[in-house]
């Protein structure tokens, strides 16, 4: 499997970016991929609170932080990366990536870059998602709908606009009970440890829906990863 750079982003705050970043990082951990995470929520940190041993906090508002992240990705042995990008840095970061030809250089270095954009309730969020989609030559662009925060008000009216950016697949995060979300927000909680039963015994009303939720998201991620691999093989004429 080719190494992948996952950029998790949105134009809005508090809609599940860090949750999705954690799930992706833990899914990669479960399949033995040893991902490295860049937490751009500087200085407080977001995902670092949950996966401190894998996470590097970077200030992408400053050139030192940009160098720390990009030079690490392109200057060290390829591995999987997860970038948890706060909404305030969305425009600036994608502008930087475009300016320095990051996607092209990453591709040359053997990476596939996947942008996962969480679309919030406002129509402006769909517009922002389309701007990112139109602005980059990513290997995969995946819109994400988090049912816990809702989606653009009347989905039927924006179906065409959404459909275009979702043609390579989408991820839907299904609803979870508040009690489960509270459980997930415990500092240091790891989905991979949960899936390996490290937290047992757990009450059934947490364990079963959480496992079902994770299996659902993992399946969607694997489907997207699989499509990227097939595209790569197709490019090489092997499929």
Partner 1 sequence: MKPTLILVGADKGGVGKTTISRALLDFLTRKNVMSRAFDTENPRGTLHRFYPTITEVIDLHHVGDQMKILDTLDTVNVRLTLVDLKAGNLGRALDTFEKIGVLEAARAGHFDLGLIHVIGPAIASMDEIGELAKFMQGVNYVVARNFVNETSFFEWDPKTYKRYFARMKAQDEIDIPKLNEMAYEQVDLSGVTFKDFIDNKAADGTQANFSFVLRGYVRRWCYEIDQEFERLALLQNLFTQRAPAAAAAE
Burial class (CB in 10 A: 0-12, 13-18, 19+), 56: middle
Three-state secondary-structure class, residue 101: coil
**CB nearer partner 1, residue 35 or residue 65:** 65
- Using CB under 8 A as the binding rule, whether residue 75 contacts partner 1 is answered as yes
Write out the two tokens for 132.
């990112």
The pair of three-digit structure tokens given for residue 54, joined into one six-digit string: 């894998």
Residue 92 sits in the site that holds partner 1 (CB under 8 A)? no
Bridge partner list, 38: 56, 83
Q: In sequence order, what are the beta bridge partners of 114?
A: 6, 140
Q: How many residues bind partner 1 (CB under 8 A)?
A: 13
For residues 97 and 73, what is the distance between their CA atoms, to the nearest angstrom? 13
Distance between CA atoms of residues 70 and 33, nearest Å: 20
Smallest separation, CB 109 to partner 1 (Å):
10
Q: Of the candidates 45, 53, 41, 38, which has an alpha carbon nearest to the alpha carbon of residue 7?
A: 38
66 lines the binding site for partner 1 (CB under 8 A): yes
Q: Which two tokens stand for residue 118?
A: 């969480």
121-180: contacts with partner 1 (CB under 8 A): none
CB of 74 to partner 1, least distance (A): 5
Q: Which of 2, 3, 105, 227 touches partner 1 (CB under 8 A)?
A: 105
Among 70, 116, 126, 206, binds partner 1 (CB under 8 A): 70
Can residue 100 be called a binding residue for partner 1 (CB under 8 A)? yes
Contact stretch for partner 1 (CB under 8 A) within 12-20, 36-44, 94-102, 150-158: 94-102
Nearer to partner 1, 14 or 95 (CB): 95
Q: What is the DSSP letter of 89?
A: G
Q: Which of 52, 56, 74, 161 binds partner 1 (CB under 8 A)?
A: 74
Span near partner 1 by CB under 8 A; candidates 98-106, 165-173, 192-200, 220-228: 98-106
- Whichever of 51 and 60 has its CB closer to partner 1, that residue is 60
With tokens 């840095």, the residue in question is 89
Q: What is the CA radius of gyration of the chain?
A: 17
Q: Is residue 102 a contact residue for partner 1 (CB under 8 A)?
A: yes
Interface with partner 1 by CB under 8 A: which residues? 63, 66-67, 70-71, 74-75, 96, 99-102, 105
């Amino acid at each position: 499997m080719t190494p992948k750079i996952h950029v998790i982003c949105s134009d809005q705050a508090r809609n599940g970016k860090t949750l999705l970043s954690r799930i992706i990082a833990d899914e990669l951990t479960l399949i033995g991929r040893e991902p490295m995470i860049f937490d751009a929520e500087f200085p407080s940190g977001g995902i670092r609170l949950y996966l401190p041993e894998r996470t590097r906090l970077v200030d992408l508002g400053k050139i030192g932080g940009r160098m720390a992240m990009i030079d690490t990705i392109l200057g060290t042995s390829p591995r999987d990366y997860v970038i948890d990008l706060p909404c305030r840095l969305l425009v600036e970061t994608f502008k930087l990536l475009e300016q320095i030809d990051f996607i092209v250089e990453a591709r040359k270095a053997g990476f596939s870059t996947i942008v996962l954009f969480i679309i919030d309730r406002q129509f402006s969020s769909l517009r922002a998602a389309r701007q990112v989609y139109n602005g980059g030559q990513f290997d995969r662009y995946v819109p994400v709908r988090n049912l816990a925060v809702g989606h653009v008000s009347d989905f039927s009216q924006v179906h065409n606009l959404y459909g275009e950016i979702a043609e390579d697949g989408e991820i839907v995060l299904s609803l979870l009970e508040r009690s489960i979300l509270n459980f997930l927000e415990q500092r240091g909680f790891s989905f991979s440890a949960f899936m390996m039963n490290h937290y047992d015994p757990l009450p059934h009303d947490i364990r079963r829906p959480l496992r079902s939720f994770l299996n659902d998201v993992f399946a969607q991620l694997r489907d997207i990863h699989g499509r990227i691999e097939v595209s790569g093989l197709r490019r090489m004429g092997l499929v």
